Structure 1
Amino acid sequence: MSQSSLHDSIHTDPNSPEVLKQNVHSIALDHVVRIQSLARNCLHGIQSAYQGGNSPAHTTGKYLATLMQALRTLAEFLRQTGVGAYPMPPAPESQSASSVPPTEQQLIDTTAREVQVLYERLKHIQESNTVAVNLLGAADAISRAR
């Protein structure tokens, strides 16, 4: 261990933002690894649910309940720490070409596309509502004219 890294490790403030960030990241990744394992178990349970001697409700039910609880626990942890809205990069040892986190520009582009889709959907709903109101108004005017 070099003199400077020994000095840094001795004098690292356990309450520093960097230590907090590392701890939150580590805990969140531990949750994610557990969820991945539970999801694999759940998938295996679903795949083997109808094999002889297995009850589909029992086989998948216990895995799904555990998986859902783990997801709720992770969501609560992220909410409490305030990092729930930020992308969590994978751990350095698990990075591969397929797990490279998106860039900020990719996140912006994806969000813009999603907002555009939602805007178009809302616009279509409003147009449909306008047509419905006009039809109802016309029907009401016809019934009053009689």
Structure 2
Amino acid sequence: MPLRSLVTLTLLATAPLTAQAENFTTAAEVRPILESIKDQWIAIRVEGDEDYVFFTPIVSWRCGVQAVQFGFNDEDPTRELEMAACHTEFSNPNVMVDGDPIPLVTAPANSVQSVTIRMMYDDGSLSESVITRKQVLIP
């Protein structure tokens, strides 16, 4: 066996094993995902006489998030978003199960022009985003 192949084989055999796949249950794991979609943390849809504000993207990556507060239009983000617990008993801890809070808040139709969201990760770090209706309005 040529020396180069022997060295390569030895290095591969003694290299540390790859870490287990991430479970997406800590700030370190979910922050990069949530920060990359920061301008899409919500969606807004008009249904009858109400604005439906969906927080689905946040709730989908909630493990690793300690708290989410929000405010409509010029309000400070002081309203608390109710979120389900992280279901660590399942292979996908971010799964939603029966009885979990629905990631939806309603307001009078066409009244939500912007949403300010403040997120606290489980490591104590904060992230904030102001999202306008135009950015996330769905038909």
TM-score bin, normalised by smaller chain: under 0.3
Greater strand percent: which structure?
A: 2
User: What TM-score do you get using the length of structure 2 for normalisation?
Assistant: 0.27
Greater helix percent: which structure?
A: 1
User: What TM-score do you get using the length of structure 1 for normalisation?
Assistant: 0.26
